[in-house]
Structure 1
Amino acid sequence: MLPKDKPGLEVEVEGRLVKLTNLGKPFWPELGITKRGLLQYYIDVAPFLLPHLQDRAMVMKRYPNGAAGDFFFMKRAPSPRPEWIELCHIQHSSGNVIDFPMIQDLASLLWVVNLGCIDLNQWYARCDDVDRPDYVHFDLDPVPAASFEKVIETALLLRQALESLKMPCYAKTTGSKGIHIYVPIERGPTQKQVWSFAKEFSHALASQAPQLITAVYTVAKRPKGRVLVDYNQNAWGRTLASIYSVRPRPKATVSTPVKWSEVERGISIEDFRIDNVPARLRRLGDLWKPLLAKRGRFTLEVYL
């Protein structure tokens, strides 16, 4: 446990010194949650979280003044930084090479969170081949006037459609407004091929339930009261809030894996928060552990 009486300290983590600063800064003042509380949460969930982050470039989204404050994105790892922060060097279409940080262990996780990163946003492909992702995923986002119950209904329809293709799928709350559904795939297809499959699949699903679902990406043309199946998050270089990320929302909600039986019974975003997710993990373990396995992944090439 981090001490409650120190505004800052240096902690040794697996032989590495990490400087933690401004621990008393309110990050959710109305909830009484400080930066210390955020760091302690990530310490508590690290054994479950780290395997999902390792070897992946991280886009830093920094909230220096807490969840309700302004934020800014950083792709390039800031300097100075500890020598043990591993980097992922990614060349972009402009020709620029960006040195992204990677979260490889508890020390690097604490270093990133101490910089004001509330949620964590990692690439879908591992650093040794950033154009070949490990997942295809669908971001279910309610359009204005659509309820979360409609998001649940969409998630169950999406699951049914994926399973009809023998594709295993796993759900988590976004911690914000929607649900993420991931399919673990055999590494091989390029990010563009994965995106193309997700686009075709999403439009086909929307055509089956046009009063509930839309895949129209242009906001001005998007019908109200529907649930957007956002396939564009599969594009190269895009990221989503990771598993077990705390979100900068009023209730300090967490992007949390859920059982399909829970989705069927009915859940809400605020069921999963910084104050109760660690206990849930201790009770249920990592429901998304299958996404880390080499076996049981879908061979997407059969549909390309």
Structure 2
Amino acid sequence: MAGAVELEVDGRAVRLSNPDKVYYPERGYTKLDIANYYLAVAPGVLRGLRDRPTTLQRFPDGVEGEFFYQKRAPKGLPEWLPTARIAFPSGRTADEICPNEPAAVLWAANLGCLTFHPWPVRRSDTEHPDELRIDLDPQPGTDFHDAVAAAQELRGLLEEYGLRGWPKTSGGRGLHVYVPLEPRWTFTDCRHAVIALGRALERRMPGKVTTAWWKEERGERIFVDYNQMARDRTIASPYSLRPRPEATASTPLRWEELGEVKPTDFDLRTVPERFADLGDLHADIEEHAFSLDRVLELYHEQDQGDLPYPPDHPKMPGEPARVQPSRARKES
């Protein structure tokens, strides 16, 4: 195994230790393969990370080993790599890295980072999201094509409320749809907006879509994971590699190709070729910024109240009892 190599990008030299170390045993992909992947898609991955506090999902021993989420900036942070201070639901704060250049992405890859999890805020304003992220998560008994059907219905729903969505694969079985926002609303507002859209989808696709937080109530439906818009919840960035045997990547799509593709079409080998041919399909997202006023009006018109938060969040105002329904019945 080679001791180290030095990669130069945009005038910066980044040391890559153990470049031959295998991270994806099924495919034989090494740390150097990962670094070269991120160099090939650098404009796209940086478009999704630039100026965003970012958590690193690190796999020091590859995808078959243990992993952890690095929220606080690691020791030995290069002086040229900026950070932003964010506040967790507990009130504690941390300085997270903001990868603003290709060298920053390579530096993180050298630490065993495969997946980047940026916050939906910019370092200039960490309290007001500028992206609404809608996670369509297939439950047991459903698959990617069910998520596609939900996304296509969501597209029309967004347009009815003056919004436009940009879809991407999650890198697994699901789909993510991003809506760029004017940074005027709180995390709570943005979470309520996703709840409203999810409830509207439930009515339009009965038996196929759900906003039920408790798994025992979801059934074989697509779950609109509204809590991905809660503070300190993040999803894989565009072009992030995922810890799956096939080395899939979370990949921006055109709406028109949703029904023609599958998640395994997009991996460490194929995405750079696609990027070279098509560029970043979401490059224009930053030219737009939409209002949530009409969707928040819908939330209040629905008059169904809030839904449970994740278990690690403090109790929130107006939140229903955070108790599993079957357990509540036994205790009553």
Q: Do they superpose with TM above 0.5?
A: yes
Q: Which moved more, 1:59-68 or 1:75-84?
A: 75-84
Q: Work out which of the residue numbers 270, 276, 284 in structure 2 matches 1:276.
A: 270
Match of 1:249 among 232, 244, 251: 244
Q: Residues of 2 paired with 1:303 and 1:153: CA distance?
A: 21
Equivalent-residue separation in structure 2 for 1:56 and 1:134 (angstroms): 10
Which of 293, 296, 301 is residue 301 of structure 1 equivalent to? Answer: 293
The SS at the match of 1:246 is coil
Relative distance call for 1:248 and 1:262 in structure 2 (3 A) is same
Partners of 1:291 and 1:242 in 2: CA distance: 14
In structure 2, distance between residues paired with 1:201 and 1:91: 27
Question: Match of 1:118, SS?
Answer: strand
How far did residue 298 of structure 1 move? 1.5
2: CA distance between counterparts of 1:292 and 1:298? Answer: 11
Q: 2:249·2:268 contact (CA, 8 Å) conserved in 1?
A: yes
Give yes or no for contact 1:124–1:134 (8 Å, CA) kept in 2: yes
Distance in 1 of aligned mates of 2:109 and 2:194: 32
Rounded to whole Å, the distance in 2 between the matches of 1:100 and 1:49 is 17
Query: How do residues 76-91 of structure 1 correspond to structure 2 at under 5 angstroms?
Result: 76-91=72-87
Q: TM-score, normalised by structure 1?
A: 0.93
Question: Residue 287 in 1 paired to residue 281 in 2?
Answer: yes
Q: Secondary structure at the match of 2:146?
A: helix
Residues 92-145 of structure 1: CA deviation (Å, up to 9, x unaligned)? 344432111110111111111111111111010101111111111211111001
Q: Name the amino acid aligned to 1:276.
A: T
- Name the SS for the 1:193 alignment partner: helix
Q: Is the 8 A contact 1:189 1:301 kept in 2?
A: no
Partner of 1:221: 217
Kindly report the root-mean-square deviation, in angstroms, between the aligned alpha carbons of the 2 structures. 1.5
Q: Tell me, what secondary structure is at the counterpart of 1:172?
A: strand
2:21 matches 1:25 = yes
* 1:147/1:90 CA distance change after superposition, 3 Å: closer
Matched, 1:92 2:84: no
Deviation at 1:18, TM superposition (A): 1.9
C-alpha spacing 1:93/1:216, structure 2 compared with 1 (3 Å): closer
- Report the CA distance shift for 1:250/1:213 in structure 2 as closer, same or farther (over 3 A): same
Q: Is the 8 A contact 1:52 1:292 kept in 2?
A: no
1:260 corresponds to which of 237, 251, 255: 255
How many angstroms apart in 2 are the aligned matches of 1:200 and 1:301? 12
Q: State whether structure 2 residue 154 is matched by structure 1 residue 158.
A: yes
2:26 aligned with 1:34, yes or no?
Answer: no
Q: Give secondary structure in 2 for the equivalent of 1:257.
A: coil
- Residue in 2 aligned with 1:116? 112
Percent of residue pairs bearing the same amino acid type = 39
- Please give the alpha-carbon distance, in whole angstroms, between the structure 2 residues aligned to 1:285 and 1:9: 28
1:252–1:273 Cα contact (<8 Å) kept: yes
After TM superposition, the score normalised by the length of structure 2 is 0.85
Quick one: distance in 2 between partners of 1:171 and 1:91?
28
Q: Is the 8 A contact 2:128 2:186 kept in 1?
A: yes
The letter for the 2-side match of 1:133 is P
Counterparts of 2:218 and 2:30, CA distance in 1: 39
Please name the residue that 1:205 is paired with.
201
For 1:49 and 1:248, how far apart are their aligned partners in 2? 17
Structure 1, unaligned runs of 5 or more:
none
Equivalent position SS for 2:48: helix
Unaligned runs of 5+ in 2: 297-332
How many residues matched? 296
What is the CA distance between 1:285 and its match in structure 2? 1.4
Among 167, 181, 194, the residue aligned to 2:177 = 181
